[in-house]
Amino acid sequence: MVRKSLAVLIAFTLVSPATAAVITLSSSLFGASGGSGTASFKVDPDKGQVGYDLQVKDIGTAVAAHIHKGAAGAGGPPVVPLDAPGSGKSQGCADVDKDVAAALIADPAGYYVNVHTAAAPGGAVRGQLSK
């Protein structure tokens, strides 16, 4: 009986998918006009979700926010939409492709947070992601 139970346990372990951990990423945001902020993220690659808390100050009214693919100093396409912190703060959870979630975890420095305003449509504050 013990051998059969052990065999079932081993077989279950071999065919069960591995569950990836939820990973925390963060970013300090800075802008040329003196604005600043912070962003923290909980990335769940199994669910394809990115939970976030975004705070900015001294930038005026934010009209958009995203995580973009791109190294420090380089521009890139948005890959995760975030609610604009119009009042200075926003939080939520964005559904993303599981491959995007895995890529954020694998190479956070290859992505940056950008918060846009009407006066700074290219981005009022920006910061690279880190673990």
pLDDT in tens, the chain (131 residues): 444 444 434 443 444 455 679 999 999 999 988 999 999 999 999 999 999 999 999 999 999 999 999 999 999 999 999 999 999 999 999 999 999 999 999 999 999 999 999 999 999 999 999 99
Candidates 35, 20, 101; CA nearest to 67 is 101
Structure-token pair, residue 67: 């995580």
- Dihedral of alpha carbons 52, 53, 57, 61, sign: positive
The secondary structure of residue 83, as a DSSP letter, is: -
Q: What is the pTM of this model?
A: 0.84
The values of phi and psi at residue 13, to 5°, are: -65, -40
Candidates 126, 48, 38; CA nearest to 90 is 38
Torsion of CA 93, 118, 110, 58, to 10 degrees: -80
The secondary structure of residue 87, as a DSSP letter, is: T
d(CA 80, CA 42): 13
